[in-house]
């Protein structure tokens, strides 16, 4: 899945959000855009997630990803809702095959070299590392790069402002994803100003990494 342009091309940060109120996605998107971030991952972890994806897709100005895809039917639901690409916490055969059948940009997650190789054999050169913090963080990315240099990684799990730079300086890391920019507590409190500030700081760090 690397021979064509991908929706995440050029993005270094993909903020992941979990929403209890679908309509709050508008405030989150506006805050991210103020901070210079134009991609959002909406996790399918609440009943309103698909509605939020649809609202985000209608908003415009931001690329919308559906996250936490664990069942093949979720791939089709996310596509119908308007998501430009999908992300998963694993690399199960059924979900990967659904994405391939739909010809839909998709990033499966891996936690071992064997999983990485198996996903690569199916054509997935972009892969998420989850949970990155428990797998050794940037050291894990280096170990994958040493044996499977064609894979580009998206660390997830424990990513924060404090370790953002160390991840993004790894040559085989194309971006990171995490919830520290727009956590549920800030969204619930309507503190979109703080979300914008966190987005701006993260974007500044990412820009310094080239």
Residue numbers annotated as active site: 41, 128
Angstrom distance (rounded) from CA 174 to CA 140: 14
Strand runs labelled E in the chain: 13-17, 39-43, 63-67, 85-87, 106-107, 109-110, 126-129, 152-155, 176-178
160, burial (CB in 10 Å: exposed 0-12, middle 13-18, buried 19+): middle
Cα–Cα dist 72/187, whole Å: 29
């Amino acid at each position: 899945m690397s021979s064509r342009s991908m929706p995440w091309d050029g993005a270094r940060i993909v903020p992941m959000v979990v929403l209890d109120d679908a309509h709050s996605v508008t405030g989150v998107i506006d805050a991210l855009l103020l901070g210079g971030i134009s991609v959002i991952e909406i996790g399918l972890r609440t009943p309103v997630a698909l509605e939020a994806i649809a609202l985000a897709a209608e908003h415009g100005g931001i690329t919308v990803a559906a996250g936490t895809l664990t069942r093949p039917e979720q791939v089709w639901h996310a596509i119908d809702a308007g998501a430009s690409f999908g992300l998963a916490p694993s690399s199960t055969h059924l979900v990967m095959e659904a994405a391939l059948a739909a010809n839909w940009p998709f990033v499966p997650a891996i936690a071992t070299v064997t999983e990485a190789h198996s996903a690569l054999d199916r054509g997935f050169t972009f892969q998420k590392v989850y949970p990155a913090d428990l797998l050794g963080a940037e050291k894990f990315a280096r170990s994958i790069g040493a044996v499977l240099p064609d894979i580009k990684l998206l660390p997830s799990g424990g990513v924060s402002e404090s370790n953002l730079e160390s991840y993004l300086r790894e040559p085989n890391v194309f971006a990171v994803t995490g919830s520290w920019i727009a956590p549920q507590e800030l969204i619930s409190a309507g503190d979109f100003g703080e979300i914008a500030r966190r987005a701006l700081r993260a974007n500044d760090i990412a820009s310094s990494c080239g």
